[in-house]
């Protein structure tokens, strides 16, 4: 009976020392036996519980944040912090780091999209709105024969980037008051709050390498596109020539973080930029991921020898 009671209440009873047990049962030998049994039971439970906690922690999936391995649940927070810290200097640093070439890449990107009047564009991970503004300009320079409305939804998970984009839009005149059908939304590209088949085009430029689950982003892009809709992605990738790739990596890892420090006072965000580019899948591998998400007629076009690539796919 004593053993049974001790098994039921061993967590509490283990707090008593051997002298207290001795006083209760008046038998030192018996108490020593009970104490040993109680100790074994206690530590068996403690170690089992601890092992379960370790297993739970160990079973949480890991992913990369640049070259670091982090928990999947932590990556989005760390990426958010990166862009929060550089939002105010984002556009300036794009010009400095790329020597202005990013503007040409984005112009080619919109020319590749070739939107027509009546297009409903979702510009995802849109940052400060570069692609959306080019989309609006492209349509302004084409005739609207049927007088149909076009729309763009600028979305990003980082409200700081969106705030900078809204200020730019006001300054450049890309507003509803100026007959621009543009709206700004804070959205997670992995879990969009839009109904199925809402858009005729989906763009994402220099954003998909920062997400935790690329496959989820592609799946969401497919879901929100109408049949016949087009997916278009502009992203850093891998150069076709090994020597040029080596030169580019020297520039990315040795020069860009120094530039970032001189202009913004921050090294880490630009070190992450270089590392995230290095970790992004090669062109054929990313094309395969787009295929696996359901898109058809997929293709890619390298720009600047493969520093960046435009990936395309259609929802059939």
pTM of the model: 0.79
Length of the chain: 316
Helices (H), the chain: 2-8, 10-13, 18-25, 28-59, 72-86, 90-98, 101-113, 130-140, 159-172, 214-224, 242-250, 256-264, 268-279, 283-292
Residue 200 annotated as lining a ligand binding site: no
**For strand 120-124 and strand 151-156, is the pairing parallel, antiparallel, or unpaired?**
parallel
Predicted confidence (pLDDT) per residue in 35-94, tens digit = 455 445 444 444 434 444 444 445 678 886 777 777 877 777 888 888 888 888 889 999
Q: How far is CA 302 from the centre of its chain?
A: 23
Residue 107 annotated as lining a ligand binding site: no
CA distance linking residue 171 with residue 227, whole number of Å: 36
Residue 128 annotated as lining a ligand binding site: yes
Contact residues for 276 (Cβ-Cβ < 8 A; gap 6+):
66, 209, 210
Q: Is the pLDDT of residue 13 over 70?
A: no
Chain position carrying tokens 């009970």: 34
Predicted confidence (pLDDT) per residue in 183-219, tens digit = 999 999 999 999 999 999 999 999 999 999 999 999 9
Residue 242 annotated as lining a ligand binding site: no
3-state secondary structure of 316: coil
The per-residue pLDDT for 146 is: 84
Q: Quick one: which of 172, 212, 209 has its CA closest to 190?
A: 212
């Amino acid at each position: 009976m004593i053993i049974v009671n001790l098994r039921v209440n061993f967590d509490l009873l283990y707090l008593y020392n051997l002298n207290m047990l001795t006083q209760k049962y008046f038998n030192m030998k018996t108490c020593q036996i009970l104490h040993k049994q109680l100790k074994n039971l206690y530590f068996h439970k403690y170690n089992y519980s601890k092992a379960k906690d370790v297993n739970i922690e160990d079973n949480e999936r890991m992913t990369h944040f640049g070259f670091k391995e982090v928990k999947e649940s932590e990556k989005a927070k760390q990426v958010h912090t990166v862009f929060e810290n550089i939002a105010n200097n984002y556009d300036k640093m794009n010009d400095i780091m790329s020597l202005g070439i990013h503007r040409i890449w984005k112009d080619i990107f919109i020319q590749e999209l070739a939107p027509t009047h009546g297009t409903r564009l979702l510009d995802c991970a849109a940052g400060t709105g570069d692609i959306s503004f080019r989309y609006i300009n492209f349509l302004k320079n084409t005739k609207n024969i049927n007088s149909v409305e076009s729309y763009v939804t600028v979305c990003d998970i980082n409200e700081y980037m969106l705030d900078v984009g809204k200020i730019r839009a006001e300054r450049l005149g890309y507003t509803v008051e100026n007959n621009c059908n543009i709206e700004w939304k804070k959205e997670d590209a992995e879990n969009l709050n839009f109904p199925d088949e809402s858009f005729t085009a989906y763009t994402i430029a220099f954003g998909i390498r920062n997400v935790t689950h690329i496959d989820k982003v592609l799946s969401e892009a497919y879901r929100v596109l109408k049949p016949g809709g087009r997916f278009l992605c502009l992203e850093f990738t891998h150069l076709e020539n090994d020597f040029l790739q080596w030169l580019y990596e020297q520039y990315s890892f040795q020069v860009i973080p120094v530039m970032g420090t001189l202009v913004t006072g921050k090294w880490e965000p630009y070190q992450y930029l270089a590392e995230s580019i290095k970790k992004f899948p090669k062109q054929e591998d990313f094309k395969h991921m787009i295929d696996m998400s359901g898109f058809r007629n997929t293709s890619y076009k390298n720009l600047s020898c493969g520093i960046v690539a435009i990936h395309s796919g259609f929802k059939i």
